Amino acid sequence: MKRWLWTVVFLGVAAGGVWWAVQALAGDEQKVRRCFSRLGELIDKREGESLILAAARGQALGNLFSDDFEARTEVADLSGHFTPEEISAHAVRARSRFSRLELRFADVQARVLPGGREAEAAAVATLSGRPQGGGDFGTETRLLRCRLRKGDDGHWRFVDAELSQGLAR
């Protein structure tokens, strides 16, 4: 094989190694972004999900939130202060109403504040799913602005979140 082709292969492998190292040594901003992907994974539901898995996901979901999480939404029932246990219970109940659910985040912007213990983040959340009774829930898109705090265990947790349509009505 020609030398230049070996060079291309070497550069590809080297680039992959650098990418892996960056992922492994991710900074706090990367960890904050991962909270969103983790939240999406835990909300997602496929048809035929077992009760045990649903409960485990609800439990894990609560661990992403701080002890006194504040939500601000257009819906009064979903606004207020919640404990992780309340969030778990809400999530299990809400997910049980759907046979399929998908939450995706796009344009995740994260900024760690001076001091390194708090971060501000914004993202576009897209929720789609199919209710248990049939039909189609459609797709809802909202702008999510939130604050996260780093715990003593090094994990980032959501402290507050505001969901809006993105335009001042």
Partner 1 sequence: MRSGWRHFLWPEWNRRFLVRLAVVAAAAWLLFSQFLLPLRIRGASMEPAYHDGGVNLCFRGRYWFGTPRRFDVVAVRLAGTRVMLLKRVLALPGETVAFQHGRLLVDGQPVTEPQPVLAGGDWELPPRRVAPGRLFVAGDNRSMPIEQHVLGEAELERVAGAPVW
Task: List interacting residues with partner 1 (CB under 8 A).
Answer: 4, 8, 106-109, 122-124, 126, 139, 141, 143-144, 165-169
Nearer to partner 1, 100 or 145 (CB): 145
> How do beta strands 156-164 and 138-150 pair?
antiparallel
Q: Which is nearer to partner 1, 96 or 164 (CB)?
A: 164
CB of 144 to partner 1, least distance (A): 8
Q: Which two tokens stand for residue 122?
A: 């914004």
Residues 95 and 131: their CA atoms lie apart, in Å, by 9
CB of 4 to partner 1, least distance (A): 6
Which residues, in sequence order, are CB contacts of 101 under 8 Å at separation 6+? 43, 44, 45, 95, 127, 128, 129, 130
∠65-141-132 over CA atoms, to 5°? Answer: 80
Q: How far is the CB of 145 from partner 1 (least distance, A)?
A: 8
Least separation in angstroms between residue 142's CB and partner 1 is 9
Place of tokens 């060079």: 7
Q: Which is nearer to partner 1, 59 or 164 (CB)?
A: 164
Using CA atoms, how far apart are residues 75 and 90, in angstroms rounded to an integer? 14
Q: Go through the chain and tell me how many residues it has.
A: 169
Of the pair 111, 155, the CB lying nearest partner 1 is at 111
Which residue, 53 or 106, is less far from partner 1 as judged by CB?
106
Using the structure block, give the residue that is written with the tokens 């983040």. 121
Q: Nearest approach, Cβ of 55 to partner 1 (angstroms)?
A: 32
Return the sign of the alpha-carbon dihedral for residues 73, 79, 80, 82: negative
